[in-house]
Amino acid sequence: MLVAADYSQLELRVIAHLSADRKLLGILNTGGDVFKLIASQWKMVDIADVTAEQRQQAKQVFYCIHLGTAALQHVRLMFDVIRYFIFCH
C-alpha cells in the first residue's frame, strides 16, 4: 500500500486552526490562495490584481515571521534549560 499526503501550507492550516481565524479558515477550506489574500490586504489591492511578485513577498514575510518566532521560542527554551542546569545543580 502506498500513501501520499499533501502537506500544502501545513503551517498555515495549523495556525488557522489554533487561532480560529474565520477568514483564514474559509480561504483554506475553499482552496483559495492564502498568500494572495494576505498580499491583497497588505498592498491594499483587489485579490484579482495581486501580482506574482506581491504574492511572493507576502509568502516570504509570512514565513519569516512564522519561522523567526519559532526560532526565538527555541532560543528562549534553550536559555531556560541552561539557567536550570547552572542554578539548580
With 0-12 CB in 10 A as exposed, 13-18 as middle and 19+ as buried, what is 32?
Answer: middle
Cα–Cα separations (whole angstroms), residue 63 to 18, 30, 41, 72: 17, 22, 17, 14
- Report how far residue 11's alpha carbon sits from residue 66's, in angstroms, rounded to the nearest whole number: 9
Q: Is position 49 annotated as part of the catalytic site?
A: no
Q: Would you name the residues annotated as active-site residues?
A: 6
